[in-house]
Chains A and B, each alone.
Chain A
Amino acid sequence: MADEFIKGFGILTGAGLVWMVLAGWYQTPSFFMTNQLIAPPPEPGNVFDAISIFLIDIFLWTAILGALTFWLLIPAGREAAAALEERRESS
């Protein structure tokens, strides 16, 4: 269980760091406004910008879904499997 925690935490912090940097480059018009990291990105000028803007959402959802997977889905699946096993043994 501790392993699953650190896996989820590693994904959350690692992907979150990359998301924060990319969103800071492309979705932050100013550090003195409320729409930091969530402003609509500009039109990509070259292929690197296009890739980066595409990756922003990828990393954001990796951070969220990755952590949820290791903290909720996998433990819940194991609990369910154990419960099923127990029920099958008892019957």
Chain B
Amino acid sequence: MSENETTDDARTDGGETGIVAPDDEVPTWSERKERKAGLSRLTYEYFERSRREDQDLRNESDYVERDVLGFPTWPHEIIRNLSISMFFVGMIVLIAAALPPSLEAPADPSSTPEIILPDWYLYWSFGLLKLNPLNPGLAVLDGGKLLSDQLYGVLANVVVVGAVALLPYLNKGSARRPVEQPFWASIGVGGAVFSITIAALAVQNLIPLPLPLQLNIVFVFPVVAGIITYAVLKTMREGYMYGLNRRYYMLRPPK
């Protein structure tokens, strides 16, 4: 990557090479003990270094700094927002005109419709209530079920909500980016995918797939998505962490 090489002073991204700090720059333990100021000194050096890097970049740049905090609302922001909102209004009008949904017969309040559904954002919970095909029949009960299907679905809700409630105690969320904690990021992606697949189970009547296949999809897709996320993030992490380590090399223990 020698084509990206600029002057060493202006590099702030950690660079591509020189992953490990030079030996003479890594302080030994005795040198660290001699440092009376300790962490405050280290903090000062770190911020001074990044300040200096910013200054060098600014000196190199031909960008003219002006005393503005942002773009004025009129016309910049308004015109941009107007174009965005007009695009979406146009799409709504276009689709409503091109695909008008048929007007069905009015609802009959005296009879319960065949398919009852909550609002779409509760489909995941409704899908959990429809897990009764997984409620196992027990041999000791002559194939009878220990829990009723209704209780089974409610307990599935308890399990999922409990897992979500437990998450903040298992992981404090100190990572700023998914790449810093690939495992927890993959858990999150798996959960997000599960919320979609389990929601699809709620509308199983409307999906032209056999129910056993749908149930497999519900539980296999999140795992697959989590594994893929983990692999991708783990692969990305190498380059990312090396760049970070180079910047924080003073914090690493000496050899």
> Which residues of A approach B to under 8 Å, CB–CB?
20-21, 24-25, 30-32, 34-35
Within 8 Å CB of A24, what residues of B? 98-99
Q: Residues of B contacting A34 with CB < 8 Å?
A: 205-208
Q: How far is the CA of A21 from the CA of B96 in the complex (A)?
A: 10
C-alpha gap A34/B209 in the complex (Å) = 10
Q: What are 12 residue pairs bridging A and B, where the CB atoms are less than 8 Å apart in the complex?
A: A20-B99, A21-B95, A21-B98, A24-B99, A25-B98, A30-B102, A32-B104, A34-B205, A34-B206, A34-B207, A34-B208, A35-B208
B101 within 8 A of partner (CB): yes
B80-110: CB near A (< 8 Å → 1, else 0) gives 0000000000000001001101101000000
| B99 partner, pick from A21, A30, A32, beta carbons under 8 A | A21
**A24 to B205 CA separation, bound complex (whole angstroms):** 20
**Chain B residues near A25 (CB, 8 Å)?**
98-99
Residue on A nearest B104 in the bound complex, by CB: A32
Chain A residues with CB below 8 A from B101, complex form:
31
CA of A76 to CA of B101 in the docked complex: distance in angstroms? 42
- Residues on B with C-beta less than 8 A from A30 are 102
Q: How far is the CA of A31 from the CA of B103 in the complex (A)?
A: 10
Query: A25-B99, A35-B208 are known contacts; what are 15 more A-B pairs with Cβ within 8 Å?
Result: A20-B99, A21-B95, A21-B98, A21-B99, A24-B98, A24-B99, A25-B98, A30-B102, A31-B101, A31-B102, A32-B104, A34-B205, A34-B206, A34-B207, A34-B208
